Amino acid sequence: MGKRRVRDLRSLNHEVVGYDVQSARNAEASQRFGIATHGSFDEMLSAGAEAIVISTPPDQHVPYYEKCFRARVPFFSEANIFTPRASWFAERAAASGVRGYPSATWQFYPLFQALREQISALGRESVQTVHYQYGGYLPYWHPSEPYSQYYAGQRLTSAAREMVPFEMEWLHWVFGPVRAVCAVQDRRHDWTTDIDDSYFLLLDFESGLRGTLIIELHQVAPFRIGRVSCVDDAFTIEMASHELLRYNKSTDSWRRLKPAGMRALGSFDFEEIYRAEIADFTNALAGGAYAKTWQDDRHLSNILFAAEESWARKSWVTIDEAEAQYDGLTLDQKQGAQRIAS
C-alpha cells in the first residue's frame, strides 16, 4: 500500500518522502520512485513532512496516530481492523490542532457510487435484503513473500479479520448503520499460522434491512459479488467484470448500468479508486470536505467486534454493546469478551 500511495501522490504532483522500518524497502522506494527516504520517523518529520500517509500493518496504526498528533502533523490512515472511539480522535485533534483521516476506499468505486444513487432514488425503505461475498486466497495477497512473514498471516491482524470492516465500508455507506450482528468465525484451510480464514455475518441494519456478509480467504478462484433485493427491482454487482446490473419486475428485463467515466465495464483500473481517495485527503488538507469520519470508521470496527463476540457467545450482539465495551486500542478480543460476559 505504501508503494501505491507513493505512485498516486506523485501522479498528483506532490513531493513525497518516505520511511520504512526495513532499510531494504527504503532503498527500493528510492530507486523505484526517485524519492528521498529516511532512517526514522522523526528524521522524516524533521525533513519537513507536511502530512503523513500511514501504510503500516494495522496493529501499528494507533502508535503512529499518536506520533502524528504529538508532532502536529495531519495524517491519512489505511484501513483499520479496530478503531478507537471517535472521542479519542476528537480530543487529540482539539489538543493538537490537526486532524486524521481514515481510509474510505470503496466510496470511490464507481459501481458502488452508482448503486448508492440508484438506492437513494428508490428509497432505502424499498430494499429488502443485501448479500455480499468476498472470496480471496491469502497466498495471492503478497505473492513475493510468504503470508507467515507479514501481518495478514498473523492471528491478531489476519486478512480475514481485516476484510470484515474493509468490505463493510460500502455496505454502511450505501445502506446505513448496522444495529446488531450474529456471526460464525472459522478456519477452513490448513494454514501454517494460527489464523481463521472465514467470517459469516448476519446483519440487522438500523433501517430494518437484513443482510449477509461472507469473507473467505481460502477461495483459490477469487471473486467479489453482491446482490440487492428491492420491492420491484434487483441489483447484481459483479466486480470481476466491473458490472452493475439492474432487473425490473414490470419490464422483466435486465439493464447494465455504466457509471460515467468508465470506458468499458471490463477494463476498469483499480488504481483509479486509490488515486481518487488520496486526492480527497490532500483536498481536505487544503480545507475541503472529506468522505468519511472517525465515527464512521469506528462503526465498522464495532461490527467486527460484535461479530467475534457473537461467535464467542453464540448469540446476537448489538453495536451499542460493542461501542460501550471495546476501546479500540487493543487487537486482542479476549479482553472484550470477558468484559461483556461479566
Is the model's pTM score more than 0.85?
Answer: yes
- Give pLDDT, residue 332: 67
CATH 3.40.50.720 domain locations along the chain: 2-105
- Give pLDDT, residue 337: 43
What CA–CA distance (Å, rounded) separates 42 from 48?
Answer: 10
- Give pLDDT, residue 91: 98
- Give pLDDT, residue 146: 95
pLDDT in tens, 279-330: 999 999 999 999 999 999 999 999 999 999 999 999 999 999 999 999 998 7
- Give pLDDT, residue 268: 77
* Per-residue pLDDT tens listing for the chain (342 residues): 899 999 999 999 999 999 999 888 889 888 988 999 998 999 999 988 999 999 999 999 999 999 999 999 999 999 999 999 999 999 999 999 999 999 999 999 999 999 999 999 999 999 999 999 999 999 999 998 999 999 999 999 999 999 999 999 999 999 999 999 999 999 999 999 999 999 999 999 999 999 999 999 999 999 999 999 999 999 999 998 889 999 999 999 999 998 876 766 667 788 999 999 999 999 999 999 999 999 999 999 999 999 999 999 999 999 999 999 999 987 665 544 443 332
CATH 3.30.360.10 domain locations along the chain: 106-257+293-342
CATH of domain 2-105: 3.40.50.720
Homologous superfamily in CATH for domain 106-257+293-342: Dihydrodipicolinate Reductase; domain 2 (3.30.360.10)
